[in-house]
Amino acid sequence: MRVLGIDPGYAIVGFGFIDKIGHKLTPVQYGAILTEAHTPAEQRLLQVYESAGALMDKYKPDTVGVEKLFFNRNVTTAFDVAQARGAIILAAAQRGLPIGEYTPLQVKQAVVGYGKAEKKQVQEMVKMFLKLSAVPKPDDVADALAVAICHAHSFVLNQKISEVKRS
């Protein structure tokens, strides 16, 4: 199963593709979609949407995990990120990809085993799980890989729960 993890953003969208075979997780590709400041909002959103779609078309994930937003400071930034997140979800939905959404607490719990883990702990666990030589940079990329790991572990269980609810 190929999983795409997304850490949504407006200036930086972290992404990470991993393959899950049995219990083994293998990194496929990871990086960031960057949009330039002072570019009109609609152009930045278009770039996020098209870039996310192009990555999905190239690496063909079976499912997509997206981090839910958590903001306690800047409302304007929250709206911008929410719009970029919507563009990413739209790109996945248009391709018929199942989408899982996770709070930062859920991602930390899945990757570290503790929902209030520090960012550095999550990054080190991502590095360990995926046998990487270094923590991916920028932080958004490591966060996206953490979302992918969380989603890979949760996907089968979530599918079974959905099937039971439908019956």
145: number of Cβ within 10 Å: 32
Q: Measuring CA to CA, which residue among 36, 29, 13, 54 is closest to residue 138?
A: 13
140 assigned to a ligand binding site: yes
Active site residues: 7, 67, 140
SS3 of the chain: the string is CEEEEEECCCCEEEEEEEEEECCEEEEEEEEEEECCCCCCHHHHHHHHHHHHHHHHHHHCCCEEEEECCCCCCCHHHHHHHHHHHHHHHHHHHHCCCCEEEECHHHHHHHHHCCCCCCHHHHHHHHHHHCCCCCCCCCHHHHHHHHHHHHHHHHHHHHHHHHHHHHC
Consult the annotation and say whether 67 binds a ligand: yes
Numbered residues of the known binding site: 7, 67, 140
Numbered residues of the known binding site for Mg(2+): 7, 67, 140
